[in-house]
Amino acid sequence: MLKGEYGEAMRIAMEIVVKVGEVLGADKLVDISHAHASGVSYGTIGEPGLHWLRELSSKGAKARVYSTVNPIGMDLDDPNKIPVGEQFYKKQMEVLQAFKDMGFEISVTCTPYYLRKPKPFERLSWGESSAVAFANSVLGSFTNREGGPLAVASAITGKTYHAGLQVLENRRTTHLIVHPELDDPVEWSALGYLVGEKVGSGIPRYPKPPQDEESMKLMLAASAASGGIALSVLEKVTPRGTYDIGDEERVEIDEKEIEELFRFNDPELIFHGCPHSNLNELKKINEIIKDKVSREFWIATSPKVFDEALREGIIQSLENKGIKVVKGTCSVVTPIERLGYKRIMTTSAKTYFYLNRKGLEVALVRVRDLWRVVT
Amino acid sequence: MESGNLRCGRRLITSETGRGEVVKIEGRISFLGEVNPKEGKLYDGRSIKGKVLIAEGAKGSTVGAYVIYALKYYGNQPLAIIFEEETDPIVVSGCVMAGITHGDMFGKLDLRDGDVVDVWEEDGKLCLGISKTPP
């Protein structure tokens, strides 16, 4: 394949996988069942990224395994929902077209596990740190945290390198997390954020993890953003045999640290859906918020969940209350700083992390307190 | 490094080889944030176009691979990227995408901006030889 007998696109893709494997000390390549590419927003990859994808596609690159893509920088259907400008819209559609031509499913979501749930021990090549953490920690699948181009190269070759978290011996815990009792999903998200800051890129173990999938998702996304944690061991959740217990350093997080992330900042925008909301979350918010909202409130979700919610009448109900449900995008990949918002409240500590870095004023709000903030 | 000295490291990607001027970064480089691909410059103003870029290693975002590719896209790519210590997957994927010569694990290189070096491949290694140092 490296010699180009399968075509130029395959040669380039194979070279990326092989060289990266070489650097990481891989002994071989392994087959994967699902590639998920990050770096899909035009705002992130720009003109050069678009050019590279187009080149690959024009050289005949085709995904050999089931392959999906991350969210984009605007609403998938309605360019006016988040006004990014005509030029951005046009370029973003070209990026999607290149992926489509290569046989990627235009999933435009950071939650590919809601499209097809990988099994324990299944090998994946996923970009998107929050999805990587969910696959490794909740589902027991094996994936490294891949850069955008590598996941594309894995899609085309159907392979990844056998190193890092693809190797069982490297899935060994390094820290034990001790924390107060938590209740709201956003408190778990705050915990994940603090763990990421303290543990860096280690493998933490939670003896008392959250019991609902939504809280797990929020917590793991936050620790992947603030620290780069790709695997956490959640006691009685992470499938046995997909990890080992190592020498653990004890890390304590107290109530005060968590509470500091929550405060009211008189927001111009409230954001939920990072990672993308599932149907449960949409239903719950629809129940919690009974009246018309008086502040701008966005919820982000995938096209798949959007359509399900549409069939059940939930989208209409949310929109009647003045809530904007955006599809295939989020506040992290959209050029939100250019839209003039300065103060934002969110249910996601991952969003908190990224928007803080963009210089916006951000605070967390509990799901149960949302109605207080928006109405 | 004195005249006539030769240092070899691990070869990862060989594309262009030849003679180039050194641009040296103290510490690790983050391609996202520290390199402007449109201008082919570091944010301190030094040009890296056609130069031999030497740093200790890399750090920073996974978008770095696209920034390295962007250097090539705008015709501003360095002749080679040389790391004294071990490289990272992001830089490797970027250099494969862009076709930029890249080697690592050269050990501490006593070179300065403006030194002129030859870059070539030998016995599966990437080598640097000093050809002349301006006064």
pLDDT digits (tens, 9 = 90+) for A172-208: 999 999 999 999 999 999 999 999 999 988 999 999 9
Task: Report the share of chain A in percent with pLDDT over 90.
Answer: 82
Distance CA A30, CA A198 (A): 33
pLDDT at A332 over 80: no
pLDDT digits (tens, 9 = 90+) for A206-216: 999 999 999 99
Q: Which domains does chain B have, with CATH numbers?
A: 2-132 (3.50.30.10)
The pair of structure tokens assigned to A37 is 């590419």
Going by pLDDT thresholds of 50, 70 and 90, the confidence category of residue A333 is confident
Residue-level pLDDT at B1: 47
Whole-number Cα distances in Å, B52 to A310, A342, B75, B118, B127: 56, 42, 15, 9, 12
- Contact status, residue A72 vs residue A329, Cβ threshold 8 Å: yes
Concerning whether B15 is annotated as a catalytic residue, the answer is no
The 3-class SS string of A272-316 reads EEEEEECHHHHHHHHHHCCCCCCCEEEEEECHHHHHHHHHCCHHH
Residue-level pLDDT at A330: 83
Residue-level pLDDT at B3: 47
Residue range A315-329: mean pLDDT, rounded: 96
The secondary structure element, H or E, covering residue A192 is helix A185-199
Query: ipTM higher than 0.90?
Result: no
The secondary structure element, H or E, covering residue A68 is strand A66-69
Going by pLDDT thresholds of 50, 70 and 90, the confidence category of residue B4 is low
Residue-level pLDDT at A6: 73
Residue range A303-310: mean pLDDT, rounded: 97
In chain A, what residues touch B64 (CB-CB under 8 Å)? 147
Task: Report the share of chain B in percent with pLDDT over 70.
Answer: 91
Return mean pLDDT, chain B.
90
Cis upstream peptide for A180 (omega within 30°): no
More confident residue, B87 or A62: A62
Residue-level pLDDT at A1: 63
pLDDT at A25 over 60: yes
pLDDT at B2 over 60: no
- Disruptive mutation site among A1, A18, A19 for chain B (greatest number of B CBs within 10 Å): A19
Residue range B103-128: mean pLDDT, rounded: 95
pLDDT at A132 over 60: yes
In chain B, what residues touch A24 (CB-CB under 8 Å)? 89
In chain A, what residues touch B93 (CB-CB under 8 Å)? 16, 19-20, 147, 149-150, 153
CB contact under 8 A, A20 and B97: no
Nearest CA in chain B to A50: B66
Residue-level pLDDT at A7: 87
In chain A, what residues touch B65 (CB-CB under 8 Å)? 147-150
The secondary structure element, H or E, covering residue A52 is helix A42-58
A209 at the B interface (CB within 8 A)? no
- Disruptive mutation site among B67, B69, B73, B96 for chain A (greatest number of A CBs within 10 Å): B96
